[in-house]
């Protein structure tokens, strides 16, 4: 049996158990955080502004809530620009028993710092390979997968460069790729195309946030390439309402795609992306109602079971797919 890196060490793949593939224990901009340590982090419920100690406590609280609901492992896709900190993840994991699978990569929709503007994809790939083979941020905690992103600006020059770097690091190390996508901007097909051009096996490619659309033609167009898809933003009604997400999941399950799907929420225990008044507005408007790490085990899966999700389909999505994606 292959082994998978977590923030507390390598584990046998069959020990991952029930896994949410896409949940964040913290989300903060590392540059802002470094330059203005006084800048507050923010969470969804009141009080919104929290201290660094509270950021840790809230991550522990959310991770514990997931464990209590039967979740054994999360994929933690917090890469560069989202405030990746594997020591923070390790502390949360040790405190709660939740296994946490870290990543390497760059999370950007467009911008790249001069450091990356002046380097080519192979030079960027070197850094990703280092995290996979040597360890992250001076630790011996190794990255299990490689993250990149495309969003509203599309797959422009900078985004293509990061995708090619991710692909080359994947080919060199065997680590799979998780690519944030934006169906509304039709990014998925081009992202897959770049990975395949670079020689990445389709089974190593996960197109995250595919569930932000209910366009089954778009989704099946990706699935036909042999890649994984994330129905991974349950609770983010701002991109697609909950009921439409569930209808899409059911339609795909009926068409036999349980072995290609991940269910998750893309939750953040805390975030500094928005000031409190914006968070207030998002919650009041229902744009991010019940968006948290508990969403899938507490609501999505029970509803799908009532609808007719079989134990086998559930085991495929929640236990076997993570192993197959991570270990090839
Ligand atoms: Zn995410």
Question: Tens of pLDDT along 280-324?
Answer: 777 777 788 788 999 999 999 999 999 999 999 999 999 999 999
Q: Among positive and negative, which fits the CA dihedral 159, 161, 162, 168?
A: positive
The b/e string for 82-101 (b: 16+ C-beta within 10 A; e otherwise) is: bbbbbebbbbbbeebebbbb
CA of 231 to the centre of ligand 1 (A): 12
What local confidence, expressed as pLDDT, does residue 49 receive? 65
CA of 41 to the centre of ligand 1 (A): 17
CA of 277 to the centre of ligand 1 (A): 22
Integer CA distances (angstroms), 21 to 75, 201, 209, 227, in order = 4, 19, 12, 15
CA of 95 to the centre of ligand 1 (A): 23
**Euclidean distance between CA atoms 67 and 61, whole angstroms:** 10
CA of 79 to the centre of ligand 1 (A): 9
CA of 24 to the centre of ligand 1 (A): 6
Residue 148, phi then psi, degrees to nearest 5 = -150, 175
CA of 235 to the centre of ligand 1 (A): 13
What local confidence, expressed as pLDDT, does residue 282 receive? 75
What local confidence, expressed as pLDDT, does residue 40 receive? 63
Integer CA distances (angstroms), 89 to 227, 269, 293, in order = 28, 12, 15
Q: Tokens in use for 200? A: 């990445």
Q: Tokens in use for 193? A: 């195309």
What local confidence, expressed as pLDDT, does residue 126 receive? 98
What local confidence, expressed as pLDDT, does residue 27 receive? 92
- DSSP code, position 109: S
What local confidence, expressed as pLDDT, does residue 45 receive? 56
CA of 295 to the centre of ligand 1 (A): 15
The mean pLDDT of the chain is: 94
CA of 77 to the centre of ligand 1 (A): 6
CA of 133 to the centre of ligand 1 (A): 23
What local confidence, expressed as pLDDT, does residue 183 receive? 98
Low-confidence ranges of the chain (pLDDT < 50): none
What local confidence, expressed as pLDDT, does residue 271 receive? 87
Task: Identify residues whose C-beta is under 5 A from ligand 1, the ion.
Answer: 266
Residues in the chain: 328
CA of 267 to the centre of ligand 1 (A): 7
CA of 67 to the centre of ligand 1 (A): 20
* 253: β partners: none
**Euclidean distance between CA atoms 248 and 242, whole angstroms:** 10
Residue 190 near residue 150 (C-beta atoms within 8 A): yes
What does pTM read for this prediction?
0.95
Question: Checking DSSP bridges between strand 145-149 and strand 19-20, what pairing results, if any?
Answer: unpaired
What local confidence, expressed as pLDDT, does residue 46 receive? 55
- In three-state secondary structure terms, 44 is coil
Residue 113 half-sphere exposure toward CB, CA atoms < 13 A? 7
Question: Checking DSSP bridges between strand 177-180 and strand 205-208, what pairing results, if any?
Answer: parallel
């Amino acid at each position: 049996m292959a082994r998978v890196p977590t923030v507390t060490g390598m584990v046998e793949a069959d020990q991952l158990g029930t896994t949410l593939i896409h949940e964040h224990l913290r989300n903060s901009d590392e540059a802002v955080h470094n330059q203005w340590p006084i800048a507050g982090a923010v969470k969804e419920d009141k009080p919104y502004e929290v201290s660094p100690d509270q950021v840790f406590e809230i991550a522990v609280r959310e991770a514990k809530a997931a464990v209590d609901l039967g979740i054994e492992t999360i994929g933690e896709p917090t890469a560069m620009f989202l405030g990746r900190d594997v020591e923070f993840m390790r502390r949360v994991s040790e405190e709660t028993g939740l296994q946490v699978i870290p990543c390497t990569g760059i999370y950007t929709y467009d911008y790249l710092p001069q450091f990356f503007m002046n380097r080519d994809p192979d030079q960027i790939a070197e850094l990703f390979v280092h995290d996979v083979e040597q360890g992250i941020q001076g630790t011996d905690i190794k990255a299990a997968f490689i993250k990149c992103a495309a969003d509203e600006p599309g797959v422009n020059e900078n985004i293509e460069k990061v995708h090619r770097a991710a692909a080359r690091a994947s080919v060199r190390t065997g680590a799979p790729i998780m690519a944030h996508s934006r169906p509304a901007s039709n990014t998925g097909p081009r992202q897959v195309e770049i990975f395949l051009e670079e020689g990445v096996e389709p089974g190593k490619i996960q197109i995250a946030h595919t569930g932000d659309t209910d366009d089954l033609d778009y989704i099946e167009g990706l699935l036909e390439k042999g890649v994984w898809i994330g129905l991974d933003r349950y609770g983010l009604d701002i991109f697609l309402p909950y009921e439409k997400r569930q209808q899409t999941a059911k339609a795909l399950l009926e068409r036999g795609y349980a072995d290609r799907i991940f269910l998750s929420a893309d939750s953040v225990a805390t975030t500094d992306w928005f000031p409190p008044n914006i968070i207030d507005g998002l919650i009041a408007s229902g744009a991010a109602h019940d968006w948290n790490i508990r969403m899938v085990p507490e609501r999505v899966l029970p509803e799908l079971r009532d609808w007719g999700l079989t134990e086998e389909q559930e085991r495929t999505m929640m236990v076997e797919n993570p192993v197959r994606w991570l270990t090839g």
